Amino acid sequence: MTHRNPCIATALLATALTVAGCGDRTTEPAATNAPDAVAVPAPAPTVEPPTAPAPAPAPTMDTVAPKAADIDGQRAMMDKDRDDRVTAEEHAEGANAMFTTMDADGDDRVTAAEMEASERVLGADKRMSAADKIKVIDTDGDGMISLEEHTAGSRSMFAMMDGDGDGDLSAAELKAGHDKMMAGKK
């Protein structure tokens, strides 16, 4: 058996020897009235090997955003100030959270496979395939969405959905815009 830490190995050996009766015993009388008592050192404390802290669980779509097909849930997730309107900033933050969750390998690009995997968790709207959703905002044609493409696509989508041009989205605007996008219209 090999040990990476010689201090831990030494402590474990000392503990094993003490427990087995092979430890170093002091022959001096104990401070008791019994003349034949022998002081026995306490067993060496068990030293647990250091462990790395458990990594934080990766966010899932369930912890970041509600079901994708649930427009009211998406609006509620994005509407941080709870005023029933989604500002451009709130929309951008929600889109960024969704991108981060979809980007399973953390390379700042989302493939169709990553999007499909996240959609299985989301219960996503299936009116468009993941590949078709990517094509909508894949400006360089590499079949993936980069963080920059997603950010630009999110801004463009917000502008398209903001029908009255007031700088925020009502529930009706968000639903209509989502429906329009899922129908493949720009």
As a whole number of angstroms, the distance between CA 66 and CA 25 comes to 66
From the list 148, 152, 102, 110, the residue with the least C-alpha distance to 131 is 110
Instruction: Spell out the residues 6+ positions from residue 31 whose beta carbon is closer than 8 angstroms to its own.
Output: none
| pLDDT at residue number 73 | 75
Q: What is the pLDDT of residue 152?
A: 96
Q: What is the DSSP pairing of strand 86-87 with strand 109-110?
A: unpaired
pTM above 0.85, yes or no: no
Give me the chain's average pLDDT, please.
Answer: 74
Give the pLDDT confidence of 127-171 residue by residue, as tens digits.
889 999 999 999 999 999 999 999 999 999 999 999 999 999 998
pLDDT bin (cut points 50, 70, 90) of residue 64 is very low
Q: In which band, very low, low, confident or very high, does the pLDDT at 24 lie, cut at 50, 70 and 90?
A: very low
Q: How confident is the model at residue 56 (pLDDT cuts 50, 70, 90)?
A: very low
